[in-house]
């Protein structure tokens, strides 16, 4: 059985929920999950670093069959909105933690 590859998208302010969903998707739904990295350095990212991380996340989406949006309380930030649009342009399936109506 070929497993679907899914990239997580969401605000790192919901890091605990992102980690929880990564585990659930892999163990309960049997997806291969590509995660995100938290911003752990005690400084603001430069514009170059932000651009680089954005580019790397788009590559992760390219490698995936789908994205899973971790939108706690319906929150979707600007960068995640861009990731969703990118996934749509690439014809990827899009799943949401909470309904995105």
At the top level of CATH, which class does the domain 5-96 belong to? alpha beta
pTM attached to this predicted model: 0.90
Please say whether the beta carbons of 81 and 52 come within 8 A: no
In terms of pLDDT, which residue wins out, 101 or 50? 50
Q: What is the pLDDT of residues 4-15, one digit of tens each?
A: 999 999 988 899
Please say whether the beta carbons of 9 and 69 come within 8 A: yes
Q: What is the pLDDT of residues 17-47, one digit of tens each?
A: 999 999 999 999 889 999 987 766 678 889 9
Helix (H, G, I), strand (E, B) or coil at 14: helix
Band of pLDDT at residue 101, cut at 50, 70 and 90:
low
């Amino acid at each position: 059985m070929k497993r679907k590859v899914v990239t997580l998208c969401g605000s790192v302010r919901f890091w605990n929920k992102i980690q929880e969903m990564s585990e659930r998707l892999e163990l309960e739904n049997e997806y291969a999950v590509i995660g995100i990295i938290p911003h752990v350095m005690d400084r603001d990212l430069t514009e170059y670093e932000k651009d680089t991380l954005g580019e790397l996340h788009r590559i992760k989406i390219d490698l995936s069959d789908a994205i899973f949006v971790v939108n706690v309380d319906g929150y979707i930030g600007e960068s995640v909105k861009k990731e969703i649009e990118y996934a749509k342009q690439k014809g990827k399936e899009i799943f949401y933690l909470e309904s995105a109506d």
